[in-house]
Amino acid sequence: MKTLIVLPLLFAQIFCISDRELFNKGKDMLNQPEKLRNMLESGDLDSNMIGPICNRSLLSWAAQKGLPIAVETLLQYGANVNFRDRKKRKTPFMIAVDFGQAAVAKLLMNSGTNLSLMDLNGLNGYDYMRKCNCNL
Ligand SMILES: *[C@@H]1O[C@H](CO)[C@@H](O)[C@H](O)[C@H]1NC(C)=O
Ligand SMILES: *[C@@H]1O[C@H](CO)[C@@H](O)[C@H](O)[C@H]1NC(C)=O
């Protein structure tokens, strides 16, 4: 009787863990533009992959870390510039501003970021532009 309950849980855990590893692999690639491009090109990595823990996109991680080449590469391979994490509803542009990543904030703004989208607190992209000390 116990096995019947434990087995599905075990499977769920295994899948969750592998999912997580895959996402971490994607995050590691952000620092290695050439590998990132190769993985996106070969289909080993989905440019719109969402992390299972915080529901954050790879693009939002690249924005947070301030990695313009990774941002450009992900966008080139179809990453959604307006994807908002499920928790705080922030676009990658908003995240770049939050983390003081001026160059990436600018890049995202010039790449079709919708400044009318609002985060969970009702602030939109224009509010973030005012918040940003980055000469946008
Ligand atoms: C992430 O998304 C999943 C599936 O939609 C959801 O069950 C989970 O609560 C979300 N986690 C966070 C931290 O928002
Ligand atoms: C931008 O977001 C606003 C608010 O959600 C929406 O009404 C508008 O259609 C969007 N604009 C584009 C170009 O998608």
29 pLDDT tier (thresholds 50, 70, 90):
confident
Amino acid identity at 76: Q
**pLDDT tens-digit map of 56-94:** 788 998 999 999 999 999 999 999 999 998 788 999 999
Q: Is residue 6 part of a domain?
A: yes
Is the pLDDT at 10 greater than 80? The verdict is no
Confidence tier at 36 by pLDDT (50, 70, 90) = very high
Rounded CA-CA distance 91/88 in Å is 9
> Whose alpha carbon is nearest atom 7 of ligand 2?
116
Tokens linked to 109: 């703004």
Residue 18 lies in a domain: yes
**Ligand showing the shortest atom-to-Cα distance for residue 54:** 1
Q: Is residue 16 part of a domain?
A: yes
d(CA 51, CA 61): 10
Judge contact between 57 and 92, C-beta under 8 A. Answer: yes
Residue 37 covered by a domain: yes
| Residue 59: CATH number of its domain | 1.25.40.20
pLDDT band at 7 (very low <50, low <70, confident <90, very high): low
Residue 135 has pLDDT above 90, yes or no: no
Burial 65-90 (b: 16+ CB within 10 A, else e): bbbbbbbbbbbebebebebbbeeeeb
Domain that holds residue 45: 2-131
The rounded percent of the chain whose pLDDT value lies above 90 is 56
Q: Which residues line ligand 1 (CB under 6 A)?
A: 54-55, 86-87
- Which residue type occupies 56? R
Structural domain contains residue 99: yes
Top mutation candidate among 94, 113, 114, 115 for ligand 2, by most atoms within 8 Å of CB: 114
**Distance (Å) from CA 31 to ligand 2 centroid:** 31
Token pair 């946008």 in the structure block, residue: 136
Residue 19 domain-assigned (yes or no):
yes
User: How does the average pLDDT of the chain come out, rounded?
Assistant: 84
Instruction: Please give the average per-residue pLDDT across 100-112, as a whole number.
Output: 95
24 found inside a domain: yes
Question: Count of domains in the chain?
Answer: 1
Rounded mean pLDDT, 107-119: 97
Tell which atom from ligand 1 comes closest to the C-alpha of 54.
Answer: 13
Tell me if 136 is assigned to some domain: no
Rounded Cα distance, 136 and 118, in Å: 19
